[in-house]
Amino acid sequence: MSEIKLTINGREIVATKGMTILDVALENGIDIPTFCWHPKLKTVGACRICLVEIEKWPKLQVSCATDATDGMVVFTNSDRVVKARQGVIEFILLNHPLDCPTCDKGGECPLQNVVYKYGIDRARTIEPRQRFIVNEDSTFDDLPIGPEIIRNQNRCIHCFRCTRMVEEVFEEDDLGSYNRGHITEILPPPGREIRNLYSGNVVEYCPVGALTNRDFRYKVRVWLTEQKKTICNFCPDGCNLTAWTFRDKIYRTTSRRNDRVDDGFICDIGRYGYQFVHHPDRLTSPMIRRGGELVECTWDEVYDAIICKLKSIKEKLGPEGVASLVGEDCSNEDYYVIGKFLRSVVGSNSIDHRLHRKKKLSYGEDLEKLGIVGTNLTIDDLESPDLFVIVGSDLHSENPISALRLLKAKRNNDARLVLINPVPSRLSRSGTEYIHKCNTEVQLITCLARIIVREKLYNADETGLDDRQIEKFLNDTDDFTIENVSDASGISKDDLTLLARQIAEAKRAVFITGRHVSLHYRRDMVLTALFNLALITNNLRGDPKGILALRIGSNNRGCYLFGMRPDRLPINRRVDEKDSLSSDWLTGVSDRKGADTIDILRQIEESKVELTFAVGTDPVTSYPDYNYICSTLTKLDFLVVADLYLTETAKIADVVLPLSSCMETSGSFCNWEGRVQIFEQVVNPISLSRPAWQIFTDLAARLEVEFGYKSGEDVFNEFAPMISGDTKLNFRTVPESGICVPSATPVNRSAGLQPVSVRAPELDQKHEYVLITGNGDHHIGRNRTTRSESLNRFQSEPYVGLSERTANELALSDGDLVKVENDFGKIVCVVKYIDGLRDDVVWIPDNFPEISANVLKNREIEIDMVSLVKV
């Protein structure tokens, strides 16, 4: 990068070669107005408002597209420039209606601001302004063009940010421009709507009031609002948001651009999801079960009841008679205080957040030894690979904003996307997707590794793999021949070979796994197979490493970081390593492992656990065995549920505590990178609700242990030095980039190739379809997104997804009712065709309250099989 010197408005400025004049000006605080230019979009130079004069250049130039060069003399405010700029403004105002008083963009409108600053005070035009008439009786001409987006074409200044963004950044095709010249219109394709997962961004990027959304329009004037910094917690991406409030109510959330994390875009779930906060379903008061009914009561009453039970059960069964299940969407502060309460005040280590797994897994210990739990990758690092291999993930719905980084790598780096999934995913539009038969991931991945080895496409020196090891690997995996695996997985031999070669040829590949692997009965084996493949293709070298195992649950990394596991303490230290942490409260903590979810449930059955806290979690609808979880939880002597709503679990609880959401307290979240980011309190707690950290602080106080936390900030300040190693760090001094807590285990390349094996699962022969669940359009998880009116406009009804062929075989059409059943339960719901779905798969979006797919699951069974009956 070479340095250049140029002069702007008489000021000598040093800049870097390759910057545009606009870049240099903005970096040096020189104001140049822009409309079409946006740092996150390709430059088009269309609006011409950023014209500048350059000495010795005959014509004015657009500063957004002209490179600054050494010795250049630029004027951004000369008479010629001002005249030209006024000319452009005059042209824009030729048709732009001056309806600012009734325009929702008023007060935050770039056009209004530019006219305010550079405009002339009289109009020379007498022509009536052009209208795109939608309603003859009104001058508003508002046209809904999607579930949320409303277009007013009259106001459009044709910067094309919206259509460029949809095409370039999202690789979607649901918004475009029609016609040409002054009658150019922004519209979705005929017969369609703009409804992509990122559609709300077009409103935020629109520099005028041409695109608004139902969520915010005409609700409040923007200058009356207060803005608070918050963090999205619907998925583990951790996008930065601004919450806009007026009189203690949130009116919208928008992107608070953080280039390290969200790159200035947020998904619709993050944008409209906040509506769950003010939903009338929110619990307003603590409740206690009296005479079989849950009745409202005071906090004192529930606290007394809990403390009373706690004492008696502890006396009867010892501290291990108390356990806690926690959800993955709580804040770090909640986790820290729950852990502190349970471990140091109650004395029990039985705490777990992993409620979605059927099988007792190895706690990830084997994987931890290989170094593929957690990650050293950052979201930024996703911009540099030239190949992404996505295994078992609909990344688009699970981590929408990380998915955009992959598209960015594709755009800037010609990166390729390969997806290996049991069900079709949205990212297939931007890459090549191979749909395999359910549960054949291990075979598939190992087969790819074998092809690479057999075709000698690996580098023995760089990977450090000797012939002996390779020989052993080939012998150990001789079941996974290309023929066998092709038969088992349903992917052709040619495709397997092509895929293997593509992976081998990549300079740097990143393997990303998601939901299907995270919930896989044989998760450890899938990831081990992937470790082998990444090792053979030399993608584990250096730092960051090449495997990214993403999990569901927005703050699952926070759960790890704050020890929401029976064997872990804060910063993921094992319970027997407690001395390595310098915190007073840890001294009395037992160094014996507690019980994990599976053991807690077993101990409940055996009456060894009689009191359980369920905080921010709804096991009745999320544990993969409905019958078992219901029968187990009802056996409990005392179930304490703290949640936002009266969930199915809350309905069977003995006491229900109204929880405050993250908008009602301050605190922090940890995203999948391990980046801890803080959020401010946005509104006061709804009704009588309290945040979890406060509830457990209160309970501790009643057991005569004073934690002394008055706010989430206090909790953060206590653990901040622990996670950052910086004793001076506190809530007020956290940098914008957050605190990055690195993965505890470095990748262990020297472990060499690992043995892999698969046992063919015993399939339930009575039922012919495999049940797979996922996220519905614009929804993630249960309970919260379905309480957002805006998100429900995209999809509010549950359905059963079938391939068209399967549906036809059963004489079912789109919209018919079907019964999905097996020995454990049944669901009746409407059918929807899903393109590309395998004929032996039933796909159910598991977000909607009407149905929950766990009624069809059994914790003992590896693959959930179901039958279909037309109703």
Partner 1 sequence: MELKVLFKYTDDPDQYKMDTYISHGGYKAWEKVLKEIKPDEVIEIVKQSGVRGRGGAGFPAGVKWGFVPKDSPKPKYLVCNGDESEPGTCKDRVLMENDPHRVVEGMAISSYAIGAHHAFIYIRGEFVFPAERMRGAIEEAYEKGFLGKDILGTGYDLEMTVHTGGGAYICGEETALLNSLEGKPGMSRIRPPFPAIEGLYASPTVVNNVETLANVPEIINRGADWYAGMGTEKSKGTRIFCLSGHVKKPGNYELELGTPLRHLIYDLGGGILDDKELKAVIPGGSSTPVLTPDQIDVPMDFESVAEIGSMLGSCGVIVMHEDTCMVWAATRLAYFYMHESCGKCTPCRMGTQWMYQILSRIESGEGRPEDMDHLLSACDNIEGQTLCPLGDAAAMPVRSFAKTFREEFEYHIEHKKCMVQNSFPSFGQ
Residues that bind partner 1 (CB under 8 A): 43-49, 51, 58-60, 62, 65, 84, 87-88, 90-92, 94-95, 124-127, 130, 157-158, 160, 176-177, 179-184
Give the three-state DSSP class for 606.
coil
DSSP state string for 166-226:
IIIIS---S-EEES-GGG-EEEPSTT-----TTTTHHHHH-SSTTEEETTTTTT--GGG-E
Q: CB neighbours of 523 closer than 8 A, spacing ≥ 6?
A: 361, 517
Q: CB neighbours of 775 closer than 8 A, spacing ≥ 6?
A: 394, 397, 398, 781, 845, 846, 847
In whole angstroms, how far apart are CA 191 and each of 146, 174, 188, 472, 691? Answer: 11, 10, 8, 58, 46
Four-CA torsion 570, 576, 580, 581, nearest 10 degrees: 30
Least Cβ distance, residue 43 to partner 1 (angstroms): 7
Least Cβ distance, residue 158 to partner 1 (angstroms): 6
Q: Which is nearer to partner 1, 47 or 595 (CB)?
A: 47
Question: Rounded distance, CA 203 to CA 210, Å?
Answer: 8
Least Cβ distance, residue 44 to partner 1 (angstroms): 6
Least Cβ distance, residue 141 to partner 1 (angstroms): 18
**Unique residue bearing structure tokens 């999934």:** 421
Least Cβ distance, residue 286 to partner 1 (angstroms): 60
Q: Which strands sit side by side in the sheet containing 143-144, from one edge to the other?
A: 143-144, 149-151, 211-213
Least Cβ distance, residue 208 to partner 1 (angstroms): 13
Least Cβ distance, residue 83 to partner 1 (angstroms): 8
Q: Which is nearer to partner 1, 60 or 325 (CB)?
A: 60
Least Cβ distance, residue 807 to partner 1 (angstroms): 34
Tokens at 731, concatenated: 């809530």
Q: Which is nearer to partner 1, 176 or 825 (CB)?
A: 176
Question: Rounded distance, CA 802 to CA 782, Å?
Answer: 22
Q: Which is nearer to partner 1, 93 or 589 (CB)?
A: 93
φ, ψ (nearest 5 deg) of residue 659: -95, 145
Q: Which is nearer to partner 1, 160 or 272 (CB)?
A: 160
Residue 494: burial class (beta carbons within 10 Å; 0-12, 13-18, 19+):
exposed
Question: Rounded distance, CA 604 to CA 596, Å?
Answer: 12
Q: CB neighbours of 511 closer than 8 A, spacing ≥ 6?
A: 389, 390, 391, 530, 533, 534, 539, 546, 547, 548
Q: Which is nearer to partner 1, 51 or 655 (CB)?
A: 51
Q: Which is nearer to partner 1, 177 or 469 (CB)?
A: 177
Q: Which is nearer to partner 1, 129 or 501 (CB)?
A: 129
Least Cβ distance, residue 524 to partner 1 (angstroms): 43
Q: Which is nearer to partner 1, 159 or 370 (CB)?
A: 159
Least Cβ distance, residue 748 to partner 1 (angstroms): 38
Q: Which is nearer to partner 1, 44 or 744 (CB)?
A: 44
Residue 592: burial class (beta carbons within 10 Å; 0-12, 13-18, 19+):
exposed
Half-sphere exposure of 724 (CA within 13 A, CB side): 22
Give the three-state DSSP class for 821.
strand
Q: CB neighbours of 439 closer than 8 A, spacing ≥ 6?
A: 422, 520, 521, 522, 761, 770, 862, 863
Q: What single letter denotes the amino acid at residue 293?
A: E
Q: Which is nearer to partner 1, 127 or 704 (CB)?
A: 127
Question: Rounded distance, CA 448 to CA 373, Å?
Answer: 22
Q: Which is nearer to partner 1, 157 or 395 (CB)?
A: 157
Question: Rounded distance, CA 837 to CA 206, Å?
Answer: 37
Least Cβ distance, residue 93 to partner 1 (angstroms): 9
φ, ψ (nearest 5 deg) of residue 172: -105, 170
